[in-house]
Structure 1
Amino acid sequence: MAINKAMRAALKALSYPDIDLKKNYKLVRVAENVSHPPANKLFYKAWDHAVPCGDHEVPVRIFAPRDSLPQPKILLFFHGGGWVTGNIDSYDKTCHVMANKTGRTVVSVDYRLAPEHPFPAGLEDCYAVAREIFLDDTLLGTHADEITLVGDSAGGNLAAAVSLLARDRGEFLPRQQVLIYPATYNDHTDASPFPSVRSNGSDYLLTAKRVNEYMELYMSRPEDRQDPYFAPLLAGDLSRQPDTLIFTAEYCPLRDEGEAYGRRLLEAGNRVRIVRVRDALHGYFMLPPRYVQVKRTYEIINEFLAR
């Protein structure tokens, strides 16, 4: 259903919360956790694990599909939240739905958040979990070729960056990745080359201003903005990347850069499918699966995974 005038007016009003993210990011974290409580554990199978990474451990939560196979395939999931908010609890229901809708085990990564842990801390956490799962198939009984990276928004950025790191470090190489409205570029001001930053950057919940604030909190120094692991679209070489499925939302400021990343991957010789979800806002993937955009997204994901 298209966004009508009343809905547009409501979205516009909700898109300008009077809050300084850089000063109040901890309050935003609390608000997001309250608005996305964990699912009732009576209705799904999940358990927690931890992966060593340097001087700390990275928590992960493993969700089994309702009708799990003896050795199900794996979706390694990196959550969104602008690298600053979100965790395995706030994405608990999303991962539960993902496991059941795909019939695959979902491994959700609770990577460290900025600004306490700026770039590349969260990325290194995601890479450490991927490395353990890809290199040790005894952990979950799944071969490396049956593991797919998945991420939404900042998590899509992290999934793309993990794939680049994996190729460059030569330790493993994912076969497939699903990037859901990923952040791939480094500039979301009016100087951005992407029209969606201006056309969708003020009235559709996620604003361009908010994306800029997230990136400022995520980076540890200004030079990070030019790092392809920070902004994958800046990578000079995008060859030898996984088969990629990219979803963008019609009314999302990140729409055009996500699609541009897909085209760059395609030009570099990779297999890519780009899907723009009509009448969708940034964050739609966390809605209940009865919503038509979510339902269609899972249909396309399952088609992609079955290839």
Structure 2
Amino acid sequence: MARKYRIHNLLMPSPELTRVIEHLQGLAAEISAVVDIEESRRLINRFGDLHPSVRDFETEVLPTSIDNVPCEWLLAPGADPDRRLLFIHGGGWTSGSLDSHRSLSARLSATTGCAVLAVAYRLAPEHPYPAGLDDCLVCYGWLRENGPGGVGPARSMFVAGDSAGGNLTLSVLLALKQRGLPLPNAAVLISPATDFLASGDSYRTRADRDPILTMGPDGMRKAADVYLQGNANPEDPLVSPLYGDFAGLPPLLFHVGDAEVLLDDSTQAVENARAAGVDVTLCVYSDMPHVWHAFAPYLPEATKAIEEIGTFVRKHG
């Protein structure tokens, strides 16, 4: 089948990529060997083992709570408190935390110039769909009217998320549209999961290249069972945004690696968005694994991708 996208990065992969892939392969092997959800979550939090502390680049971290949802502000030097970005972490809807994604959230504040609010939404299986989505929607609504200094309307709003957080980012947009609520200025999708039916060919063609997500279609369907627990059909657009009506959504930026099993989750969603008249940008990075952004500044391609997100967000407000 002919490739329907352009590879964004035509340079040779950096030498640092080898170590990142080895780190991810080791982590994936450990995760697959455990069955206890808490142990799995502990291992996912090790996703940040290569990350520097946010203290290393002077980011202010302010814990807060919104309707009992734990959150934290990340404020890089010079961040504008009236330009706000809701960040939704990944982790397969069952894992991930403020800790695991703090470095990425902080770097997004630095490159976008926004005050970033990271949200620790409720996780499955204890809290199946729609608990996590509901938490994100509550936090988005609060963020429009509250900044790090207190009550005050946002001048511009953005939403971003990686992997399962990318799925929730698109679900937030579609839910806001359904409810007739204000949409953000733009949104950023980092290696998003968009299709619980796993209809894309990349689940098969990239399974031997993706160092962290080696699951095939059956694996994604099992993830759907854990996340949904019978509360929704996997084709529901608020669950699998690929099947939603994208018309009227704000500008979107998709980042995905050419080595990811989730590659087609992005390329198919981009095709649908373009067909609906949405201003959408797709960047496919050669050889990159799932959410490579998390390894900045160690991985040069990660730094480049985060800077690109900053340029996109600043362009839109």
State whether TM-score is above 0.5: yes
- Where do 5+ consecutive residues of structure 1 fail to align? none
1:49 aligns with 64
Q: Which of the pair has the greater relative contact order for Cα pairs under 8 Å at 6+ separation?
A: 2
The 1:15/1:255 distance shift into structure 2, 3 A limit, reads farther
The number of residues matched between the two structures is 295
One of 74, 82, 85 as aligned partner of 1:63: 74
1:25 aligns with 37
CA shift, 1:135, in A, is 4.5
Do the aligned partners of 1:246 and 1:275 also contact (CA within 8 Å) in 2?
Answer: yes
Kindly report the root-mean-square deviation, in angstroms, between the aligned alpha carbons of the 2 structures: 2.9
| Deviations, residues 167-221 of structure 1 (Å, cap 9, x unaligned) | 1111221220000111001123xxx3x1211111244221124544433211121
Do the aligned partners of 1:22 and 1:217 also contact (CA within 8 Å) in 2?
Answer: no
**TM-score if structure 1 supplies the norm length?**
0.86
**1-structure distance, mates of 2:66, 2:89:** 17
CA shift, 1:294, in A, is 1.3
Q: Find the residue that maps to 1:281 and give its secondary structure.
A: coil
Q: Find the residue that maps to 2:110 and give its secondary structure.
A: helix
The 1:128/1:273 distance shift into structure 2, 3 A limit, reads same
1:74 aligns with 84
**2-structure distance, mates of 1:291, 1:206:** 19
Q: Find the residue that maps to 2:45 and give its secondary structure.
A: helix
| Deviations, residues 250-290 of structure 1 (Å, cap 9, x unaligned) | 10011112111112111111111111011200021110224
Do the aligned partners of 1:15 and 1:202 also contact (CA within 8 Å) in 2?
Answer: no
Q: Trace 1:88-107 onto structure 2 (pairs within 5 A).
A: 88-107=98-117
2:183 aligns with 173
> Which has the larger displacement, 282-291 or 17-26?
17-26
Partner amino acid for 2:296?
Answer: P
**2-structure distance, mates of 1:81, 1:159:** 14
CA shift, 1:160, in A, is 0.4
The 1:103/1:12 distance shift into structure 2, 3 A limit, reads closer
One of 134, 158, 165 as aligned partner of 1:155: 165
**TM-score if structure 2 supplies the norm length?**
0.83
The 1:3/1:44 distance shift into structure 2, 3 A limit, reads closer
**2-structure distance, mates of 1:31, 1:11:** 12
Q: Find the residue that maps to 2:136 and give its secondary structure.
A: helix
The 1:289/1:22 distance shift into structure 2, 3 A limit, reads same
Do the aligned partners of 1:73 and 1:142 also contact (CA within 8 Å) in 2?
Answer: no
1:227 aligns with 236
1:208 aligns with 215
Q: Find the residue that maps to 2:287 and give its secondary structure.
A: strand
Partner amino acid for 2:53?
Answer: A
1:300 aligns with 308
Partner amino acid for 1:249?
Answer: G
**1-structure distance, mates of 2:33, 2:145:** 38
**2-structure distance, mates of 1:288, 1:95:** 11
**1-structure distance, mates of 2:224, 2:314:** 35
The 1:261/1:139 distance shift into structure 2, 3 A limit, reads farther
| Deviations, residues 47-100 of structure 1 (Å, cap 9, x unaligned) | 111111xxxx1111001112334x451121000001110011111122122222
Q: Find the residue that maps to 2:36 and give its secondary structure.
A: helix
The 1:303/1:140 distance shift into structure 2, 3 A limit, reads farther
| Deviations, residues 91-136 of structure 1 (Å, cap 9, x unaligned) | 1122122222322211100000000001111000001100111245
**1-structure distance, mates of 2:18, 2:53:** 28
Partner amino acid for 1:25?
Answer: I
Q: Find the residue that maps to 1:251 and give its secondary structure.
A: coil
Q: Trace 1:276-287 onto structure 2 (pairs within 5 A).
A: 276-287=284-295
Q: Find the residue that maps to 2:308 and give its secondary structure.
A: helix
CA shift, 1:10, in A, is 5.6
Matched, 1:39 2:49: no
Matched, 1:241 2:256: no
2:131 aligns with 121
**2-structure distance, mates of 1:24, 1:229:** 28
Do the aligned partners of 1:133 and 1:139 also contact (CA within 8 Å) in 2?
Answer: no
CA shift, 1:27, in A, is 1.1
Q: Find the residue that maps to 1:279 and give its secondary structure.
A: coil
Q: Find the residue that maps to 2:224 and give its secondary structure.
A: helix
Partner amino acid for 2:106?
Answer: H
